Amino acid sequence: MNPVNHFYNTVSDAVCQRLLLEIPAHYKYHSLRHTLDVIQQCNWIGQAEGLDEYEMQIVRIAALFHDIGYIVGRKDHEQLSCELFREKARDLQLPMADQTLIEGCIMATKISQSPTNLLECVLCDADLDYLGREDFEEIGELLFQELLACGEISDRTAWNDLQIRFLSNHRFHTDFGQRNRQDQLHKHLQKLIAPE
């Protein structure tokens, strides 16, 4: 078994358990559910973008760890996620070249996203895939509840303003995202601007 497959298979259950048990309960969006969704979207997007099995596994590992930093804190959670990943990577002697790719993917998800290669683009699009999906309102409500509970937003009016600004500026990075998500994102934006 190659090192990245061995690493993923060895750590995935433990990481999921930590996300389930250690992420604060009022984090309704940044939860195990979100991480599992991002891994699933990485599978779809990565396949559509022609990633090989090694590249897919790099992106899956990055997806698995990309929000684990929330266990430690909200501020600079991407950096915290990289630190927690690095501990596991050292323990299991994951090659440094693989670590560098994975950490690059995790750091690329920092808002506003700044991917520099296809692997980073895949994870970035997977992370915010819901912006161009039918379950946008349901998932967005979870983020609203989390931001409200954390005192990062005051009310629904401020939330709607934030969403309008965010969606207005967001562009998907992969061909898959641009073909399959950008139009739906635009519809969500229009509905926020001019509610029925």
**Distances 174 to 3, 21, 95, 140, 151 between C-alpha atoms, Å:** 27, 33, 27, 22, 33
How large is the average pLDDT for residues 104-131? 96
pTM: 0.95
CB 173 within 8 Å of CB 124:
yes
pLDDT tens for residues 21-76? 999 999 999 999 999 999 999 999 999 999 999 999 999 999 999 999 999 999 99
* CB-based contact 127:36 (threshold 8 Å): no
Torsion on CA atoms 47, 49, 53, 58, rounded to nearest 10: -110
Query: Across the chain, what does the average pLDDT equal?
Result: 95
Q: d(Cα 8, Cα 118) in Å, to the nearest integer?
A: 20
Q: Exposed/middle/buried for 71, CB within 10 Å: 0-12, 13-18, 19+?
A: middle
* Inter-residue contact 105 to 55 (CB < 8 Å): no
Instruction: Please write the tens of the pLDDT for every residue from 73-114.
Output: 999 999 999 999 999 999 999 999 999 999 999 999 998 898
CA proximity to 86, closest of 111, 60, 112, 68: 68
**What's 64's domain CATH number?**
1.10.3210.10
The number of distinct structural domains making up the chain is 1
Range of the domain at 113: 3-193
The set of residues, in sequence order, having a beta carbon less than 8 Å from that of 65 and lying 6+ positions away, is 15, 81, 82, 84, 85, 102, 106
* pLDDT confidence tier of residue 196, bands split at 50, 70 and 90: low
